[in-house]
Amino acid sequence: LGAISKIALLFKYLKENAMNVLKTSYTTIGAIALTLLLAACGSSAKLDNAAVSDVKPKLVEQVASAKADDSKLAQVATGTVSSSASEGRKIEAVNLQTPPLLVTPPDGARTIYFDYDSFIVRPEFQAALEAHAKYLNADQTRKLMLEGHTDDRGGREYNLALGQKRAEAVQRALSLFGLGAGRVESVSFGKERPAGTGEDEATRAKNRRTELVYK
Amino acid sequence: MHDMCRLGFLHLVIIATVKFLKLLSKDYRYERAKNVIFPMALPLQKRMHFQHSMSFQRHLKTLRVFSISTAAMFFLGTAFAQFRVEVSGVGLTQTPIALPAFKGEDIATQKIAAIVQADLERSGQFKAIDSAGLTYDETSRPVFAQWRTRKADALLTGSVARLPDGRFDVRFRLWDVVRAQDLGGKSFAVNASDLRLVAHRTADFVYEKLTGERSIFSTRIAYITKTGQRYQLWVADADGENPQAALSSSEPLISPSWSVAGVQLAYVSFESRKAVIYVHDLATGKRRMVANFKGSNSAPAWSPDARFIVATLSKEGGSQLYAVDIAGAVEPKRLLQSQSIDTEPVVSADGKQLYFVSDRGGAPQIYRVALNGSNAVGEPERVTFSGSFNISPALSADGKSLAYVSRVGGVFRLHLMDLNSGTSMALTDTDSDESPSFAPNGRLIIYATQMNGKEALMTTSLDGKVKAKLNASQGDIREPDWGPYQK
């Protein structure tokens, strides 16, 4: 168990480090820092590679039993432990032993941008989404609207459906950080509310987005 | 019996004359002669088929000049040029008709003959003949010879007079110039505000007499304008004129859809910062939410019995099609289960087919599925196969034609598919066409496009050869939906 908590602490340290690096400047990120960032903020697949495989089942047991034994306490403390399901979340549960208590929504990105014809949340936005999920899980009174948008090409209704797909992609990413579906509503404005008007690619890239709006 | 003998004799004369002319002249003169002589034996309606080669050749030369000059007139705002009617290509069948100004119409606020002319020209089936310098007396028979020399096959005469109670007395009569026949007329006593409607009804009379088909000039259209940050829903005459605002909002409005009876509009409003479907009673202005579920609610399409709308809801995740009860008595019924986007539903006029857009095959294409009441029956079948991006289906009332927007080479163009043969063709050469809608008689399509950096509404004939741009007062004009026949 001691080894497990050491690993957990190490991850926590790496992750906080990575977050700081992300906040200060991308240009200073070296190859090692990038690896750490991906390990800390990226998908669970990366974590699997880093973690000692035979330790994992015990970790699962530990989290599960903690949930069963003391679910009330866990809920009060973090609000998210009870909803942890994926392996990525299990790592989160360890971090949340000392949850950062946010009083205002995080300063991180409120707008998630997408590539052309794409609905994939790019890795660079994962850290920001995690911060939003944490905040919402800490303050159960707040709710989040996810507003999907598209660029100006094509029909209004089909773009509305594409924007909906972008909003729901962000909702899925947030759910991986433990945010329940009841806390968030995904809607779309299609191409009706562009961030900027213009037919150049830079403008269109700014318009392909999901905005996080707190209620 | 006597008539048939006469017709037979005339036919012989025609053949003889044509042969004689053929000997004397070149081919084009033969064409000309055939068109001048042969139609005389037929009623005007049937003669139309024989007009196109001549009338088109006659106007081919003036065509380029015509488009330039009409564009100029459009900006000058003359009464004649309330539309910019563009004619392109060959093979047009257009009846030449003379429409001199109605006698005394100077006293009226609307130029009746000009409105009738714009209606008829926009249909693509008529060609206005210049009547400058020619006069008529509406109380007696026209001097047909003078109209024949202008190559008019039909003549509309009329008058406008002020009644003692302040209303206007509008009368018209339609003449078959070639056969020197009276084809009937009507009279109206109306307020100034109804003069445009009278003009549209006059155009309806002419169209129906001469084509034998039902006319759409007195129907209405709905559309959305965006001026600055102001969005407005309008109901206007079929020519885009006489607009009346039904709704004004600071948030976007899209997808207006006429109920079958033409008394209500369903549409999507973002007034609560999300897409919500409303049904709006036009006469009373009363509106209510019919779909405000979690997520987006959009793309309303009426069932023919007006008991439900098919709409795209995302309440269970993804954009999926539901039958939404208008009365709100029952929960929306999911019509199809897919992992893909399903949207832009269209219910056929007989209520038996549901067309929609889906990217279930990887890219958006138009599909259809059988409907039984508000239930989808069987598996959807794909309808569009050419092109990798086909959206925004619209169905003609007879269910035979499908208008849609296809992305070809990065631009979005209005296309028309013959559903029997499956063949389709582009109707425009513009780059940003959107939201087509058929006139109730299926002879015209209205659609949104971009011209000179502004959103505009256009109508086109089904062959794509006659197009007209509707007037927009200010700002962008979009999302047209053509309403049903009016009582």
Residues A78 and A134 sit within 8 Å (Cβ to Cβ):
no
Which among A158, A186, A187 has the least Cβ separation from residue B391? A158
Q: Is A164 on the interface with B (CB under 8 A)?
A: yes
Which among A168, A188, A213 has the least Cβ separation from residue B317? A168
Q: pLDDT tens digit string along B144-202?
A: 999 999 999 999 999 999 999 999 999 999 999 999 999 999 999 999 999 999 999 99
In this structure, of A34-43, A133-142, B220-229, the range with the lowest mean pLDDT score is A34-43
- A1: which 2 tokens? 């168990």
Tell me the count of A-B CB pairs closer than 8 A.
86
Which among A153, A157, A187 has the least Cβ separation from residue B274? A187
Q: pLDDT tens digit string along B216-261?
A: 999 999 999 999 999 999 999 999 998 999 999 999 999 999 999 9
pTM of the predicted model, to two decimals? 0.75
ipTM of the complex: 0.82
Interface test with A, best of B273, B296, B435 (most A CBs within 10 A): B296
Which among A145, A156, A185 has the least Cβ separation from residue B254? A156
Q: pLDDT tens digit string along B92-150?
A: 679 999 999 999 988 888 899 999 999 999 999 999 999 887 777 777 789 999 999 99
CA end-to-end span of chain B, whole Å? Answer: 42
Cβ-defined contact of B254 to A161 (cutoff 8 Å): no
Smallest Cα distance from A135 to chain B, Å: 22
Q: At what angle do helices A126-138 and A156-176 cross, to 10 degrees?
A: 70
Q: Is the pLDDT of residue A132 over 70?
A: yes
Q: What is the secondary structure of A185-202 as a DSSP string?
A: EEEEEETSS-SS--SSHH
Q: Is the pLDDT of residue A88 over 70?
A: no
Strands B95-98 and B154-162, by their bridges, are parallel
Question: Which tops the pLDDT comparison, B133 or A92?
Answer: B133
Gap between the Cα atoms of B123 and B462, Å rounded: 10
Cβ-defined contact of A155 to B435 (cutoff 8 Å): yes
Q: Is A188 on the interface with B (CB under 8 A)?
A: yes
Residues A171 and B377 sit within 8 Å (Cβ to Cβ):
no
> Which residues on chain A are in Cβ contact (under 8 Å) with B255?
156-157
- At B92 the pLDDT is 66
> Which residues on chain A are in Cβ contact (under 8 Å) with B270?
189, 192
Q: Is B295 on the interface with A (CB under 8 A)?
A: yes
- In B88-127, the residues whose Cβ lies within 8 Å of chain A are none
Percent of chain B with pLDDT over 70: 80
Percent of chain B with pLDDT over 90: 74
Q: Is A193 on the interface with B (CB under 8 A)?
A: yes
Smallest Cα distance from A70 to chain B, Å: 33
Please, is A197 exposed, middle or buried when counting C-beta atoms within 10 Å of its C-beta (0-12, 13-18, 19+)?
A: exposed
